Structure 1
Amino acid sequence: MKIIASLVLYRHTQADIKKTLESLFSEESIDKICIVDNGGYCIWLDELSHPKVEVIRLAANRGFGSGHNAVFQKFSQDFDYTLICNPDISFSPGQVDQLYSFSMQRETGLSIPKVVYPDGSLQHGCKLLPKPWQLFMRRFGSTMAVKMNQDYELRHADYNRTFFAPSLSGCFMLISRQALQKTGGFDERFFLYLEDVDLSRRVCAAALPVEYCPDSTVVHESQRRSYRDVKFLMYHIFSAVRYFNKWGWLIDKEREALNSRCLSELPLARNL
């Protein structure tokens, strides 16, 4: 089969994911939608009936990556690709079909479409691998980090063209069966935040194509909860510490190599 879509919920209502489900239902390339109920709080799923939908209930909420891993472990061998989809995504018909066609043609291990905010402005889902000071400046010194963000978020890239980036946003990513076999999915030490960065670089390390697809567009109602909620800020900080403990704080040769490759190959926007 072509694609299984993985959707992880935690205390979401049916109204919260109505637009996301409607969007997923419209895609011919999606053969199954697996909804993971982290902690078993979404009782309304008992009444949800659709031929494409299957529900996995997990007794405890062990995080974003753990929820998606439950889908990988149960179904990934049955599908060409798994679509990791946030419950705040929507799109017009045919967008996943376009992304799937792109990924099959280019044999990608991991890909994302163009991601935009509800007002149509571009959300920079393609990034370099972070250095510790970059994450700190982005979160706590945004007014002093404008130039840094230009480079880190690849804002000078031509988003009308395909390109390689070593870090892709986990809000909507298409990952191949081969990539899951080689990486084992998400590292469950990350409860929330940076698990997508970690997975992206491991797919890169597996020598599988990691690419941005300009031919498909989705809308992401980004919550940016770590900017509004102290609890989510702490999740972000803990994940950052785990990430740099794993990959290196000051010395990370793989980071430098992947970032250099990205910058050397990057198509630049014409107005720069």
Structure 2
Amino acid sequence: MKKNSGLGIVAIILMVLMVGALCILGYEQGWHTLVSLWLARHAAIVYALCVTCVVMFALATIISRRKEKEKSSALKFYGTLLVTFMILVAISFNYFRNQSSLYGENSKYAENETIVLGDDLPPVTIVGDLSEEEKTYFIHECIEPQPVELLKETTRIHLCSREEFEKIRKENDIAQAVAFAVPTNRHIYIDASRVGMYRVVTHELSHNFDVAHDFISETKKFKDQYKMFIEDAQFDTLFNLLDVQYAKSSSAEFFAEVSDTYFNQGVELANRYPPLYQYFENIYKGEAS
């Protein structure tokens, strides 16, 4: 008996150590953010599994209190049917939810006009009534000239009329913005009624690059560098190259703001803050340690 108890304690200790190691490794690699995104995209399944666990526990409790074999067997049978039904409903609901959700596959605009830019580049879907001038401006002036390494990590760009953009933004509780990126599917939504949007597009594309590369901005190594840079007084002198205060708001916004400056005012960034330029140079060359 004592031997079994000792083995049980050892097993528990090993399990705790393993979970602790996974948590530390997960934090280092930004896995917590990836898991959060997966949970957001598959919320229906997660919810159904939680309910299923509760139902199974309740059924097990009822069955354990029943002595008659016939009643016990019947409860098990109907309980299994109920659980199976709930899982199937959850999967079906999740599928249809993802087909139309902003955060899922979003086939809501599948019939809309779509412009193909080229191989490995995101298609551009038109949402709402846009003039030919607006389409031409955004495609030829704000999208096509963007760095290929950023464009290829975005899966779709939605050019929206102001009315449609505001409708989408409000329906999904998104803060005031002229464009936003959706991390779960790497889509971008842009208010095409605006002008001077080239760097805004670069910023949003940078968010998708970040996501596509396993959330660079959420790793401990990047966050350590982020903290070091924003605490350096020299970073504040870059106010005319990027939005310093916005960059300081989070590691993700820091990544996007500095990426925008790296691609669009790289020479000036290299001259004024060489370590920051070199750090992002290493990231985009795949050499960041």
**Shorter-chain TM-score: which interval?**
under 0.3
Report the structure, 1 or 2, having the larger strand content: 1
Using the size of structure 1 for normalisation, the TM-score is 0.25
Report the structure, 1 or 2, having the larger helix content: 2
Using the size of structure 2 for normalisation, the TM-score is 0.24
